Amino acid sequence: MNAKREGFTLVEVMVASTIGAFISLVAVGTLKTVITSNEHLDNNINAASEARFAANLLQRDLTNIYRDENTENTKLIGSVEYLAEYSTSYLVFYTINRTKARAYEPESDLYEVEYYLMKEDDKSALIRRVWPNPSDEFEPGGIRTTIAENIDLFEVRYFDGEEWYNDWPEDMETLPHIIEVNIVAKPLTGVPILETFIVNLTRTVASSTTEEQAP
């Protein structure tokens, strides 16, 4: 009688090893793809979140823009800076803010805020400068904060009731009727992320007047 065969032949072992290696390669490749996709998704979510945060912050500041019967006390300057490889809007104005920029420091409700885009090499960021207690007697100062990174475009436009403009000079004696802001974030992959909003300054003035006249 023939002895009972036990174990695997060399061919069977080689076939099993090849199949196992192939399955491992497919599994590792799939895992890398999933990890990369998750990283890109997280990056896109963060980029969208930062752009939305910057848009909400600027919209709040513009909604609370400071107004005075004496136009010399009201400040809003909008311009476009043309740099080597790009152009960007520059915006500075007075706003009313109930939240202190510096804790435990004596500050009024009036702040000067400035928004501009800063690019250096492959990095870009939207900057917000807050100056408590602004005064014409001193050079503009304050606290600069990066409110959004990887911003590819910062564009502000102004409507005077008849036409749209890309700038609002300092010698203008009135505030624009409408301000439109576009902020574009550039994620690692996918299409750019756009945050846009419009602030109707004439409507906010009408609302403030109605509240003051209410009994």
pTM of the complete model: 0.74
Which one is predicted more confidently, 112 or 30? 112
Domain total of the chain: 1
Q: Does residue 199 belong to any structural domain of this protein?
A: yes
pLDDT tens digits, one per residue of 51-81 = 999 999 999 999 999 988 877 788 899 999 8
| Secondary structure of residue 79 in the 3-state scheme | strand
Q: Does residue 34 belong to any structural domain of this protein?
A: no
* CA 165 – CA 33 distance, rounded (Å): 46
Q: Does residue 196 belong to any structural domain of this protein?
A: yes
State the residue range of the domain holding 110: 44-213
| Confidence check: pLDDT of 82 > 90 | no
Q: Does residue 126 belong to any structural domain of this protein?
A: yes
Give 119's pLDDT tier (boundaries 50, 70, 90): confident
Which H helix or E strand runs over 36?
Answer: helix 10-63
pLDDT tens digits, one per residue of 176-191 = 999 999 999 987 667 7
* CA 10 – CA 6 distance, rounded (Å): 13
Q: Does residue 201 belong to any structural domain of this protein?
A: yes
Q: Does residue 32 belong to any structural domain of this protein?
A: no
* CA 58 – CA 188 distance, rounded (Å): 25
Give 95's pLDDT tier (boundaries 50, 70, 90): very high
Q: Does residue 157 belong to any structural domain of this protein?
A: yes
Rg of the chain on CA atoms, in Å: 29
| Confidence check: pLDDT of 12 > 70 | no
Tell me, what's the pLDDT at 74?
85
Q: Does residue 2 belong to any structural domain of this protein?
A: no
Give 13's pLDDT tier (boundaries 50, 70, 90): low
* CA 75 – CA 67 distance, rounded (Å): 8
